[in-house]
């Protein structure tokens, strides 16, 4: 005989499955489109004084093209595509060539990003809720790069190496070799808001606990929601570093770097006041720990998980830490930046009874500034 607890879990799974299916089937109608054109790109840094390229209201849905320039040279931007028999007139490839020709290097090593986007009414102390409604790879290839001194085994890489990876977009797989295919799972490696003005230009290479950045967290794809503490008026949201697929750790220094179209919905939260970026998927809450030392990143992820469980579930310190050890997975996000990442995956199913977990952080009755 099934226990009441198991029956509740089964009902939860069925409800979650049906709600996810309904969500996936609903057509997405963006309110705005932000193309990957030279005028819409910022290369290498987050800055409070970067002029926004789009202004939106809370609740707006925005379709955004994001690009990665790995393998493309400034001297001959078309050479890479000709070598791999890729048509120069394909929209995504045309955008890549135009960006390489039209966006000047800033001298700051970092990512090519689309934005920033200004959210009306956003002020320091607010939270910007960003829902990832969809992510699709928009070019038929990816690149994976490694170099001596980089990645998780920097002492063992003898020379720089770049791997060109064809993508079968119809089958949604990466053709790694003629015998190896890897299912695509596209996501954006970089999502962030701008820092306060006195921090100047922050390179996009590492992630930052309070603004986001280069998390390289593969779980932040379609269906994820990310929460950013707003630092400056308008938030100034940036997105870039598109990946076609990546493993936890990103251990050689890169993912399957590609170009994506991502559809995001922005909500301004006046009721929520965070000090660090947090995230969730339909099945998990995600707490991220960051530090130059992986052991300290783990310490921060555990401590953050304990605080989350105390705040949201009413557990005391000892029960919160016990649950972290008994039922929470801690995964290496990436080891490729000077700042390394650990992310805690906390299952929502632990906290449900007869209905799916609420999709909004902390407050199921959260009010949003502007209804669509």
100 inside domain: yes
Q: pLDDT in tens for each of the 372 residues of the chain? A: 444 444 444 444 444 444 445 445 578 999 999 999 999 999 999 999 999 999 999 999 999 999 999 999 989 999 999 999 999 999 999 999 999 999 998 889 899 999 999 999 999 999 999 999 999 999 999 999 999 999 999 999 999 999 999 999 999 999 999 999 999 999 999 999 999 999 999 999 999 999 999 999 999 999 999 999 999 999 999 999 999 999 999 999 999 999 999 999 999 999 999 999 999 999 999 999 999 999 999 999 999 999 999 999 999 999 999 999 999 999 999 998 889 999 999 999 999 755 444 544 544 444 445 433
278 inside domain: yes
42 inside domain: yes
371 inside domain: no
Q: How far is CA 100 from CA 1, 9, 16, 95, 166, in A?
A: 64, 51, 43, 9, 21
Q: How far is CA 162 from CA 33, 146, 147, 257, in A?
A: 32, 6, 9, 11
Question: β-pairing, 278-280 with 225-229?
Answer: antiparallel
Chain Cα centroid distance, residue 108 = 21
CB under 8 Å to 186, separation ≥6 — which residues? 135, 136, 137, 221, 222, 242, 243, 244, 245, 258, 260
What is the extent of the structural domain holding 8? 4-351
The closest of 120, 136, 129 to 65, measured between CA atoms, is 136
pTM: 0.88
CB 143 within 8 A of CB 161: no
Sign of the alpha-carbon torsion through 86, 88, 92, 95: positive
Tokens of 195: 């820092």
User: What's the CATH code of the domain at 82?
Assistant: 2.60.120.580
pLDDT in the model for residue 13: 45
360 inside domain: no
Phi-psi region of 314 (alpha: psi -120 to 50; beta: other; left: phi over 0): left
Q: How far is CA 217 from CA 184, 213, 332, 368, in A?
A: 15, 10, 9, 27
pLDDT in the model for residue 27: 83
pLDDT in the model for residue 369: 52
Sign of the alpha-carbon torsion through 342, 348, 349, 350: positive
**Count: domains in the chain:** 1
């Amino acid at each position: 005989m099934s226990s009441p607890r198991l029956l509740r879990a089964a009902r939860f799974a069925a409800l979650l499955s049906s709600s996810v299916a309904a969500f996936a089937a609903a057509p997405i109608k963006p309110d705005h489109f932000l193309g990957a054109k030279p005028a819409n790109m910022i290369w290498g840094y987050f800055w409070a004084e970067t002029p926004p390229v789009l202004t939106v209201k809370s609740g707006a849905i925005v379709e955004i093209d994001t690009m990665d320039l790995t393998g493309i040279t400034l001297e001959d931007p078309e050479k890479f595509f000709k070598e791999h028999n890729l048509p120069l007139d394909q929209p995504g490839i045309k955008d890549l060539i135009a960006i390489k020709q039209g966006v000047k290097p800033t001298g700051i090593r970092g990512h090519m990003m689309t934005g920033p986007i200004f959210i009306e009414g956003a002020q320091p102390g607010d939270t910007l809720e960003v829902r990832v409604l969809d992510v699709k790879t928009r070019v038929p290839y990816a690149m994976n790069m490694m170099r001596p001194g980089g990645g998780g085994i920097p002492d063992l890489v003898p020379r720089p190496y770049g791997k060109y990876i064809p993508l079968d977009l119809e089958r949604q797989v990466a053709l790694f070799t003629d015998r190896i295919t890897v299912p695509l799972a596209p996501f954006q490696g970089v999502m962030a808001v701008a820092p306060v003005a006195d921090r100047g230009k922050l390179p996009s290479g590492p992630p930052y606990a309070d603004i986001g950045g280069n998390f390289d967290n593969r779980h932040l794809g379609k269906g994820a929601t990310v929460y950013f503490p707003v630092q400056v008026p308008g938030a100034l949201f940036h997105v870039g570093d598109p990946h076609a697929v990546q493993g936890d750790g990103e251990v050689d220094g890169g993912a399957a770097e590609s170009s994506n179209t991502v559809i995001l919905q922005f909500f301004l939260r006046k009721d929520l006041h965070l000090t660090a970026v947090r995230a969730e998927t339909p099945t998990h809450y995600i707490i991220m720990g960051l530090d130059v030392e992986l052991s300290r990143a783990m310490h921060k992820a555990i401590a953050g998980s304990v605080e989350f469980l105390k705040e949201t579930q009413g557990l005391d310190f000892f029960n919160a830490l016990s649950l972290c050890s008994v039922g929470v997975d801690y995964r290496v996000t990436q080891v490729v930046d000077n700042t390394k990442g650990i992310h805690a995956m906390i299952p929502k199913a632990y906290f449900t009874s007869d209905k799916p977990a609420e999709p909004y952080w902390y407050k199921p009755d959260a009010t949003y500034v502007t209804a669509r």
